[in-house]
Amino acid sequence: MDTGELISKMAYLCYSSSFIRTITITQEKGQKVLRGNMHLFLRADSGNFKSTILTELGDYFKVDRIELITSAGLVGTIDKNMNAIPGECWRVRNKLLLLDEFNVEGDNNCIQPLLPLLEDQMFKKSIGRMVIDMTEKDKDLFFQVKKGELKVKTRFSCVICSMKKIEKNRSINLNALLSRCIVIPYELRDDEIRDIMNGHKLLNIEKCQFKKPFDVHISREDYKKIMDAVDSYPGLNVKKQYARTIGDCCRAFAVLGKHDFNTYFMITKLHQEA
């Protein structure tokens, strides 16, 4: 599978998963509730058209590409009149958050609030000063500032692009961030670069079939098929992203509405090699 095909496939799954509120799984013993959203982390050196790829995704899914986002830009801030300004995590609810030139270095204060937003789709913090109370709602989602506390419940899938090396010297926060994403390191072929320079699109994405948020239930039988598919991966290291791998395969099943064992293999491979 070439780079364009891989990113197109994963971007379709990622965007479509933003419509899933929850996934309820019937396990051998009991049930488990899983977030619906899938997240991607694209890593490539300069010259691999990362911004172009995000721009294509933004044009296709009608969202903006955000460069060099800050913590305030992500979760929200307070203006000089003490009014709250919602951040990107609220603006892109039920859509994609596209983060370009993401700084993965240790001094990036954006990673910390991004972690609970990717995992639980929730974030709250004490503002520590007088602020005018306000609330915005969108069905089960909300952005709220009340009694000096900012709280947001949102839902989005995220695609992050970075050219920073992530193979060595990872911080605790970066490890936590990457564990929440499917990491796709890539390098475009010469012919792919020439095609882009001749005006061709790299991506060919399926049209999303979903229009509004929904919930998914995965039966015990289907869950076992997903687990068996992951377990069949050659040389599988169960201690490396095993739970995350199964979770993302469940999200793929929820989007596709059927088993796609080639997709399960691809997701497992990416998690094992991250």
Q: What is the pLDDT of residue 99?
A: 95
Report the domain count for the chain: 1
User: Which two structure tokens, joined as six digits, stand for 98?
Assistant: 């596209």
Residue 217, helix vs strand vs coil: strand
pLDDT at 137 over 80: yes
How many percent of the chain have pLDDT more than 70? 98
CA-based radius of gyration for the chain = 19
In this predicted model, what pLDDT tens digit does every residue of 230-244 receive, in sequence order?
999 999 999 889 999
pLDDT at residue 45 is higher than 60 = yes
**What's the mean pLDDT in 12-19?**
93
Tell me the pTM: 0.93
pLDDT at 54: 92
pLDDT digits (tens, 9 = 90+) for 157-202: 999 998 888 777 678 888 899 999 999 999 999 999 999 999 988 8
Tell me the C-alpha distance between 91 and 66, whole Å. Answer: 12
The DSSP secondary structure of 225-244, one letter per residue, reads HHHHHHHTSTT--TTTTHHH
Res 106: pLDDT: 57
> In which element (H, E) is residue 220 found?
helix 220-231
Q: What is the CATH number of the domain that holds 39?
A: 3.40.50.300
CA 44 to chain centre: 17
Task: Work out the average pLDDT over 144-167.
Answer: 90
Q: Give the pLDDT of residue 108.
A: 63
Would strands 141-146 and 134-138 be described as parallel, antiparallel, or unpaired?
antiparallel
pLDDT digits (tens, 9 = 90+) for 100-136: 988 776 556 788 899 999 999 999 998 877 888 999 9
pLDDT digits (tens, 9 = 90+) for 206-239: 888 788 889 999 999 999 999 999 999 999 999 8
pLDDT of residue 218: 97
Name the average pLDDT for the chain.
91
CB 203, CB 192: distance < 8 Å: no
pLDDT at 102: 85
pLDDT score recorded for residue 128: 76
Q: What is the pLDDT of residues 58-109, one digit of tens each?
A: 998 889 999 888 888 999 988 888 889 999 999 999 999 999 988 776 556 7
Q: Give the pLDDT score at 107.
A: 56
CA distance 166 to 258: 34
What is the residue range of 242's domain? 3-273
Q: How many CB atoms lie within 10 A of CB 10?
A: 23
Q: Token pair of 12, please?
A: 């379709």
Secondary structure, 3-state, 49-111: CHHHHHHHHHHHHCCCEEECCCHHHHHEEECCCCCEEECHHHHCCCEEEEEECCCCCCCCCCH
∠ CA 239-244-247, nearest 5°, is 135
What is the percentage of the chain residues whose pLDDT exceeds 90? 68
Beta strands in 127-255 (DSSP E): 134-138, 141-146, 149-153, 156-162, 182-185, 214-218
Provide the pLDDT for residue 144.
95
